[in-house]
Amino acid sequence: MASRVRVLTGGIAMTTILGATLLLGASSAMADSVVSTITLGSGADPLNAVVSADSATAYVSTSPGVAVIDTATGTIETTIPVGSSPQGLALSPDGALLVTANAASNTVSVVNLATNTVIGTVAAGAGAFDVVISPDSQFAYVSNQVSSPPSVSVIDLDTLTNVASITGVGSYPTGIAMTADGSTIVTANYVGNSVSVIDVATRTVVATITGVPDAGRVSISPDGTTAYVTNYSASTISVIDLTTRTLSTAIPVGAQPFAVRFSADGARAYVANLNATFISVIDVATRTTLPSIATTRGAVTLAVSPDGASVYSAHSGTFSLPFGPPPEPPFVSVISLTPVIDESAPPSAVAGAPFSFIVSASGDATFAIESGTLPPGLALDPDTGEIAGTPTAPGTYLFTVSATSAGGASTTELSITVAAAAAPELAVTGSNTGALALVAALLLGGGLLLAGAGSRAARATLNA
């Protein structure tokens, strides 16, 4: 049956200041809400953010360097000094390196994550702004925002050298993104109002897509079919079809979108709006906006944890004005996401046969049966979401499952139909073939006797 999802609310609001977590009090926190903030310190305005593959660490590039945040405790463990104005951040897929693109020093800093120290500084192009790393962790690709001609630098991370420059991209290449398979790179060209598509194997521009106003940051869907590009002045997200290499549509979001990121499952996209006090949320399937996530200040950038549990949005500090409020430091908002339940329908079951089905949800969720009943013999594992066991009674069973995380809870209505076990068939084996032959013979003999009796009765009638 079709599933229906509804959202429950609830949560606790907290704030973290210089590593100390303070309880602000119970609140009826809406789903997908800010649950804590992390102060970055005066003058440490954020520029970009990424989260490690295990979702345990967030990295935020700031004016003094890269802040390393323990996501479990919400504390800044250290700040790594890198080049000047580290606008771009990328983590190598093997988890060994962090690479920053330093716009003011025209360099790339390569950080060993085991020691949180810079192991190499490599010259890039003018205004090195954003960076991506190949799936094999060998090459970094850097968009050079003010280089002439516009270019993308190719950095060998094994030798720590600049090995190539890809030209032919649009004017003022700002954001850069790569497909998960490493075959294609996309640059968002701010002054060129365009998107350039690069074939990685040949290191050449193979397509230019125009009509993308103020193309700033870019993100590619996990399946590699779609790119989302921020349009700063238009306050929209351009949707680029990477299969046809065409502009599909534009999705209205908050004022002056500054960054966009897909969730790990590709179902949602989140947009940091510089001049709006909310994070825009896009349903990727329908290309429509969902309820936004309230923040207290416009966001410069954001990152989505790979486990789907959190979004980390970064906000600049405020300035002191005459007779105005005192300046406020920059900070990171920790947004807890309500689990999104996969609404795939369970398969049919058969009485007496083992059954297993997993209710999956984004984030670190726990599961429960809210109403209805499971088929007798089946049980739900609250930690994994697996419904398993051996059903004993035929019928159709309706029930509601909830998935709960720190951000709230979602529910979905499911059903499992249990069919009766098939009637056993009489098998002919070597042990009973003789008995079957005897029965057949008796039946045949009985038929002959009846036939003989009938013939005698017919003759008696004629003779009479």
Task: List phi, psi (to 5°) of 347.
Answer: -75, 165
Instruction: Evaluate if residue 428 carries a pLDDT over 90.
Output: no
Q: Give the 3-state secondary structure of residue 420.
A: coil
For 333-365, the pLDDT digits (tens) are: 999 998 888 888 999 999 999 999 999 987 778
pTM (2 decimals)?
0.79
Task: Find out whether 253 and 233 touch, Cβ atoms under 8 Å.
Answer: no
Compute CA distances 30 → 24, 135, 140, whole Å. 15, 37, 39
Which residue type sits at 80?
A: I
Rounded CA separation 447/164 (Å):
95
The domains found in the chain, sorted by start residue, are: 32-336 (2.130.10.10), 349-419 (2.60.40.10)
Q: Are 187 and 195 in contact (CB under 8 A)?
A: yes
Top pLDDT among 127 and 444 is at: 127
Distance, C-alpha 87 to centroid of its chain: 23
What pLDDT score was predicted for residue 320? 59
Confidence at residue 322, expressed as pLDDT on a 0 to 100 scale: 65
pLDDT tens for 29-59 read 346 889 999 999 888 999 999 999 999 999 9
Per-residue pLDDT at 328:
87
Contact (Cβ atoms closer than 8 angstroms) between residue 299 and residue 273: yes
**Residues in the chain, total:** 464
Q: What is the pLDDT of residues 234-244, one digit of tens each?
A: 999 999 999 99
Q: How far apart are CA 263 and CA 289, in angstroms?
A: 14
Q: What is the rounded average pLDDT for all residues in the chain?
A: 87
Please give the order of strands across the beta sheet that includes 268-273. 257-262, 268-273, 278-283, 288-294
